[in-house]
Amino acid sequence: MTSDEFPRQAARHTRRRFLTVTGAATALAFGVNVAHAASAGAATPLPGDPFTLGVASGDPLPDAVVIWTRLAPQPYEPLGGMPYQAVRVEWQVAADERFRQVVRSGTATAQPEYSYSVHVDVRGLRPARHYWYRFRIDGHLSPVGRTRTAPAPGDRPDRLTFAVASCQSWPDGYYTAHAHLAAEEVDAVLFVGDYIYEYGISAAGGLRNTADPVPDQFRTEADTLDRYRLQYALYKSDPDLRAAHQNTPWIGTWDDHEVQDNYAGVYSKALDPVEDFTVRRASAYRAYWEHMPLRTPAPQGPDYLLYRRFTFGRLAEVNVLDTRQYRSDQADGDLWKPDNPGRDDPARTFAGAQQRSWLLDGMRASRATWNLLANQVVMSRMDLDASGTPTYNMDAWDGYAAEQAALLDGLAGLTARNPVVVTGDVHAAYAMDMKRDFDDPDSPTIGVELVGTSISSGGNGVDVSVNGQNFLDHNPHLKLVNERRGYIVVELTPHELHAAYRAVPYIDRTGAPISTIRKFTVEAGNPGLNPA
């Protein structure tokens, strides 16, 4: 296939904005049978542009990257408005934005049983360079996405830059932070959980107060495969989220809201029977895979191996954790609670022994200067201590003290690997020194934890709430609390880490500016945060 087979004038700038998708308010009915025959395009004419949910790329390797789209000309209709048949989608990857130098091309089959999602693992690429990609079906051309491969294993880059983002509740406000993130020149976005929220959505769309009512089928909570697919379609209707995906490869992991708030392993927050909740988890995991730029195979049941590792030359490794799938039920409920015996029970798991061994063994073998842990919930000790009694979050690492201690013990022996934990979940920006013994402020620092605030969850937020001030007052290893919305930009060099905390002043309307609220540096070989 030559580049001339795709009209060059259709190449678009990767930061362009798209119109928000609207759809008819109809009930979703999804067939369960597999369509076996694939045709070149669709035998039935499509009712409109199938690329309403945009394009994305992710999980970059030195010679490969995943490119993604989902065909949905009418994203809130049954089957996304697609005819019930498997269809072939053409794709191209080029070394230039105008596709004069097409380096890889082919076709992929979009199957109805996977919601017409397309995941192409493009191989044979060159390390540490940008590529552009696009899809076509039946004369419809997708937006052009930009991606980037990782450096070769032995390369020694002068610098790498990652953005850390999480928690993007659609009705809590606009994704203005994503609009700014789309303009950042970063090597990859580390998205550490809560891509969707499972809750029902009002006709007004919460703080968005939308002019076009949100369709009726969004009133109920997502708990089936069809309903999770609808939620992803609504979230991906946002032009700023699509722009952030379109410009940069993402490395993602889930937290709880991709399934259910504060679920733990096979235990439902609502105390549903395990058999019923396992079905719900399987549906949620499948919908997550369908809508993210992840490699095949897709989940085939309630289990999915999501933890994985990416090497960026000799400068950095990124270890992606999964702290939801393998954990025991929370101790004494899933809220902030005083210390209790269940919290210290060594039989209770969090990441699980297998994942913990994978992580620590991999870090011991790492040849990289910096070793990042893309982690969902706060790993460091955080004592709310509002009443003078040590009070911890039972849903975070603090709620699983035995495994928390085992991991910190392991990291204490790996300070030469420069461990850096990047975290989401709490809708606030924190910067923390990780201590060998959090009860002793003079204990050695074994690494740092950088907690990014939310993209939108929690609404406009404040600079520091009452609880935020309590954290600052009772946790001497905590160096920053800010509760506005935004993300972190982490720049790595062979000698230093630079962390810039970026935030917007409001999200209940569009157009907010972005600013850097605080900067820190960390010296390689000398763990601990330094003001910049």
For 338, list phi and psi in degrees, rounded to 5.
-60, 160
Largest CA distance in the chain: 70
pLDDT of residue 64: 98
The continuous run of DSSP H or E covering 279 comes out as helix 274-291
143 contacts: CB under 8 Å, gap ≥ 6: 12, 14, 16, 18, 51, 54, 55, 134, 242, 246
User: In this predicted model, what pLDDT tens digit does every residue of 3-16 receive, in sequence order?
Assistant: 334 443 333 333 33
pLDDT of residue 18: 27
* Distance, CA of 327 to CA of 396 (rounded, Å): 11
To the question of domain 159-195+254-266+302-531 being in CATH 3.60.21.70, the answer is yes
User: In this predicted model, what pLDDT tens digit does every residue of 503-526 receive, in sequence order?
Assistant: 999 999 999 999 999 999 999 999
In the chain, domain spans: 159-195+254-266+302-531
User: In this predicted model, what pLDDT tens digit does every residue of 415-474 receive, in sequence order?
Assistant: 999 999 999 999 999 999 999 999 998 999 999 999 999 999 999 999 999 999 999 999
pLDDT level of residue 182 (50, 70, 90 thresholds): very high
Q: Residue 194 is encoded by which pair of tokens?
A: 């809560």
pLDDT of residue 385: 84
Structural contact between residues 68 and 292, judged by C-beta atoms closer than 8 angstroms = yes
pLDDT over 70, % of the chain: 92
SS3 category, 379: coil
Give this prediction's pTM: 0.93
Check whether 17 has a pLDDT greater than 60. Answer: no
